[in-house]
Chain A
Amino acid sequence: ETGVTQSPTHLIKTRGQQVTLRCSSQSGHNTVSWYQQALGQGPQFIFQYYREEENGRGNFPPRFSGLQFPNYSSELNVNALELDDSALYLCASSFGQESSPLHFGNGTRLTVT
């Protein structure tokens, strides 16, 4: 059984740039959720994708967008990066719309300078 993998593991970007983060879901899972975790805080829900469609969104601006592909892998895109976007971005996969328990990857550490 292959777990959730995320790439890259670390990334440094400049304010105003755009970034794409990638996630491969665990084998057999068709739902992907993305979370942002600032240093010292709990993960905050960004959005969820089920069967290639956005299926719920947290309190994040439209410059945070995503995609889910037919193989259930997913991308998180962030445009016009701001310094406050510096965080650990976590991807979690699950099966169906019962998304508990979530299986998390180890995240992408994004630093915006």
Chain B
Amino acid sequence: LAKTTQPISMDSYEGQEVNITCSHNNIATNDYITWYQQFPSQGPRFIIQGYKTKVTNEVASLFIPADRKSSTLSLPRVSLSDTAVYYCLVGPRSAAGNKLTFGGGTRVLVKP
């Protein structure tokens, strides 16, 4: 599975846009990029998934350049409740038998 690298932590303020970049230089052709959010004492929650270019849903956008060696999760106008750990995962969409493992994640702190 492709190794991912993301910043350990980021600080932001309410109302700002937060962009978290994940590097995955050895991404495979059939790999997808998936982001999860985790609050303390809760399980991770799926945010968004993409393969190339741009994906947008009601909570976030995911930007993937043409070479797919990195991706950026964009959280628009964050609030205090967006304080959490964000994980970037890269692997086949069909993860059967594969070891879909999380890295250390990025701790995002949103300040008032």
Contacts and interface: CB of A to CB of B under 8 A. Distances in A.
A50 B49 contact: no
Given A44-B102, A45-B99, A56-B98, A100 B45 contact: no
A98 B95 contact: yes
A101 B46 contact: yes
Contacts of A92: 43
Interface residues of B, number: 26
A71 interface: no
B87 interface: yes
A84 to B, nearest CB: 18
Most buried by A among B34, B46, B91: B46
B60 to A, nearest CB: 13
Interface string A41-76: 111110010100001111100000000000000000
Nearest to A99: B95
A41 B101 contact: no
A14 B99 CA distance: 29
Q: Which of B85, B96, B103, B105 has the most A CB atoms < 10 Å from its CB?
A: B96
A42 B103 contact: yes
A103 interface: yes
Given A43-B44, A109-B41, 8 more contacts: A33-B100, A35-B102, A42-B87, A42-B103, A45-B100, A88-B41, A90-B43, A100-B46
12 contacts: A42-B103, A45-B99, A56-B95, A58-B99, A88-B41, A97-B94, A99-B100, A100-B95, A102-B46, A104-B42, A105-B43, A109-B41
7 interchain residue pairs of minimum CB distance: A104-B43, A42-B102, A97-B96, A101-B46, A56-B97, A99-B95, A43-B102
Interface of B: 32, 34, 36, 41-46, 49, 85, 87, 91, 93-105
